[in-house]
Amino acid sequence: MKELIRRKQVTINGKTALSADLKINEFQDEILCQGVRLTYRPYVYYMMNKPGGVVCATTDAREQTVLDLLKPVLPLSEQKRTISPAGRLDKDTEGLLLLTDNGELVHALLSPKKHVDKTYLVKIAHRLSPGDIEKLEQGIDISASAPVSEKEPQRNRLTLPATVAVRDDTTILLTIHEGRFHQVKRMLQAVDNEVVALKRIAFGPLKLDPSLSTGACRELTREEIQQLTCASADIHKM
C-alpha cells in the first residue's frame, strides 16, 4: 500500500492519499486503490465438506488437517489469518464444517450450555426398533463409553433429547443439541447398534451445500453469516 500511495494510486473518500500514516475508519471511509474499492473484512467464514481421513485440527505432525485443505483455496490476502475449525468432527466423519477466525462466534456456538442443533446422516449396522428410537430421542446413558475426561459428572450421563428421522432400515437422520466426544457413535452403541458412516449435514442454521464436492470449501454467503450471527445472539439470551 505504501508504494501505491507513493504512486498516488489510492484515494480516501475521493481525495488522493498522501501518506500511509492516515487514520481511517475501515467501515465508513471509501478507499479506492487504482479505482477499485477496497473492503475490510474483520473475519472470514468458510464452509467445508470435510472428507474422511482428514483430522479437524490446525496442524498435525502426521495427519492431513482440514487447514491443509483450506489453505490452497485461501486468497493470498487471507493466508495470514488464524483460521480454525468450529468444533471437531472425527477423522472418519464427513460433511459440514465451519472454519473461521471469529473466535467469539465459535465460542458462542460451541459452548456446552448453548445447544446448537447438529444434524447427521447416519449409516447404521442394522434397523432401529421403535424402543431404540424412543431411547435416542428421550436421552440415553452414554457414560459406559465415556472417555476419562467425561467420567465424573452424574448429570452428564444422559444425552439431551434428540430427533430421529428414519430414511430406510440402515439410514437415519439424527439431530442432537450437544457436541460430546464421539456422541453419535456412542448413542448408537448404547442401543447395541453401530455407526457405519457419519456425515454432518447441518450445523445450527447452516445446511451443507449440496454443490460442494467432498473436500471442497466455499465462503459463507452474507445471508449465512447473518444467520449464524443471529443464532449465536439468540444463544446468548438462553
Q: Which of 60, 68, 90, 209 is catalytic?
A: 90
* Contact indicator for 68, 233 with CB cutoff of 8 Å: no
- 150 makes contact with ligand URA (CB under 6 A): no
CB of 9 to ligand URA, least distance (A): 49
- Work out whether 117 is an interface residue with ligand URA (CB under 6 A): no
Residue 171 phi, psi dihedral angles, 5° rounding:
-135, 125
The helix (run of H) or strand (run of E) holding residue 230 is helix 222-237
- H and E: helices and strands count for the chain: 6, 13
Q: Which of 143, 145, 183, 229 binds ligand URA (CB under 6 A)?
A: 183
**Contact criterion met (CB below 8 Å) for 232 and 224:** no
Query: Residue 208 interacts with ligand URA (CB under 6 A)?
Result: no
Piece in contact with ligand URA (CB under 6 A), picked from 86-94, 135-143, 204-212, 220-228: 86-94
The answer to whether 90 is a known catalytic residue is yes
Best CA proximity match to 73, nearest among 51, 96, 99: 99
Rounded to a whole number of angstroms, the minimum distance from the CB of residue 176 to ligand URA is: 8
Q: Is 114 in the site for ligand URA (CB under 6 A)?
A: no
What is the three-class DSSP state of 124?
Answer: strand
> Is the CB of residue 150 less than 8 Å from the CB of residue 156?
yes
- Residue 184 as a binder of ligand URA (CB under 6 A): the answer is yes
Per DSSP bridges, beta strands 84-85 and 45-50 are: unpaired
| Shortest Å distance, C-beta 69 to ligand URA | 16
Question: Would you say 33 or 197 has its CB closer to ligand URA?
Answer: 197
Residue 92 and residue 103: Cα distance in Å, rounded? 25
Cβ of residue 183: shortest distance to ligand URA, in angstroms? 4
Catalytic residues: 90
Q: Which residues bind ligand URA (CB under 6 A)?
A: 89-90, 93, 182-185, 198
